[in-house]
Amino acid sequence: MDYIGRFAPTPSGSLHIGSLLTAVASFLDARAHGGQWLVRMEDLDPPREVAGAADEILHTLEAFALHWDGAVIYQSRRHHTYRAALEDLYAQGLIYACTCSRKRIQSHGTKGADGTVYDVHCRHQAFRQPENLGKTPAYRIIVPDQTIAFHDALVGDYAQNLARDIGDFVLLRADGLWAYQLAVVVDDAAQGITHIVRGQDLLISTPRQIYLQGCLNAPTPHYAHLPLLTNRHGQKWSKQTRAAPLDLNRKTSLLRQVLTYLHLPAPIPDGDCAELLQWATLHWDLHHLPRTAINTENTLGTDISS
Ligand code: GLU
Ligand code: ZN
């Protein structure tokens, strides 16, 4: 099978145990299929980025023997590609400029699956006359009143009605930042990604991405959304919940922990990271992964954040 997978970190800080789990699972699934594993830096949001974080992430992946194929792609260098995709969607009559204030959006919107569903107030505004709008607009895409369903290898069937659950969503923000939803679809297509293995926090975004793939004539990859790794309060490990950066002095034991979370405790006591990953590749089976959130406290008896 032709398999191209990827890991797409946002360089807003160091990798932590949760992002290591995503990296390892996407790596193992690719290698077990004899596929490629690409790395893409999702550095679209300069204010949220930390200087040196992208290089540090790559260094950490190498330290764990998570060797990627090909050159790393940086989203910060691909604005022209996102612009071209927006123009394509505009030519299809799917894009409009929105000048609503956050306050207006909140007060006129309804509650959706991922925040407020926008009330389509600005749908009548044309794309290319921002100078007539009085202020810099955001650009939204019109979504259909139709159910978008897909089968996730881990979660099972999942569906959303974009009009009801999400609403017309922003592809280019008024401050000039490209939305993750557009960039990820454009880049997954450009890199020929066939399989996406990522955290369940992104499941809610997948119907939007499948919709954009359809509009941009891009294939829909296979999806597997991994259970989240949570702390003792049941919160996802992230920068916000103060997940500790990975300690490279403990890399083999951290990798063993992650493999244990993935139901692959490695029975090779002296293995280094490369050997552990090699063993795990041979024993990898997506269908044996846990399906629900993995609490690091329950699994280990200790909270690895502190
Ligand atoms: N950059 C996203 C994140 O770090 C992941 C995007 C994706 O895998 O689609 O959460
Ligand atoms: Zn508006």
Distance between CA atoms of residues 14 and 34, nearest Å:
29
The per-residue pLDDT for 126 is 63
- Residue 81: its pLDDT value, please? 98
Q: Show the low-confidence residues of the chain (pLDDT under 70).
A: 1, 126-131, 298-306
Rounded to the nearest angstrom, the distance between the alpha carbon of 152 and the centre of ligand 1 is 17
Return the pLDDT at 233: 85
Ligand 1 lining (C-beta closer than 6 Å): 8-10, 42, 184, 198, 202
pLDDT tens digits for range 203-245: 999 999 999 999 999 999 999 999 998 888 888 888 788 888 9
The pLDDT of residue 128 is: 55
- The secondary element (H helix, E strand) that includes residue 4 is strand 4-7
Query: Tell me, what's the pLDDT at 129?
Result: 66
DSSP 19: H
Q: Which residues contact 302 (CB under 8 A, 6 or more apart)?
A: none
Instruction: Give the single-character DSSP code of 127.
Output: S
| Nearest atom in ligand 1 to 6's CA | 8
